[in-house]
Structure 1
Amino acid sequence: MSIAEAAPIELAVEALESDISQAETQTEPVRFQEVALSALSNVARQAQNRLLAPLERTAAKLRKAHQARELADVIGDALRPAHHKL
């Protein structure tokens, strides 16, 4: 992961810490838990999206390569009888 990709996650972690600090000053423990869990969930979702995007692109490339190989096999199988007739 490059620095540019990590920057939004770092900012999200800072926002998480800020939200938790603000929630700690409130007297309602339930509200603090809600804010902390929500902020943590947002950071986790951003991190997951950052990690999954490259994997999804790689999977798409692999699917295309596999499809091309299957097509080449079909073409090869179709040409094989014609080659033997020559």
Structure 2
Amino acid sequence: MKGSLSMRTQKCYTVRSDQTEEQLWVHHVDLMKMNDHCEQALKDIFHMVVSRLLSEIYEHIHCLYKLSDAVSMLDMLLSLAHACTVSDYGNV
């Protein structure tokens, strides 16, 4: 196989740690606590952003309602105009 290394040419590298297993466990627990804290902070930030976004939308909901009403009216008029040009409704 081209590009693959045979077992004779592969080298094994190990890293020795000066820390005991107990010290590594303490660091692991501390990292897990920090990770949980970061995840909770991220959830709080997402909640604040979504709440602020919803409050901004609620302030302008009447404009969105009027816009959807205008778009639906325009869609209906376009459909009627298309039906009128395709069929013989104008010649009756």
TM-score (norm: length of structure 2): 0.42
TM-score (norm: length of structure 1): 0.45
Normalized per residue, the structure richer in helix is 1
Question: Comparing both chains, which one has the higher relative contact order based on Cα–Cα distances under 8 Å and sequence gaps of 6 or more?
Answer: 1
Greater Rg, structure 1 or structure 2? 2
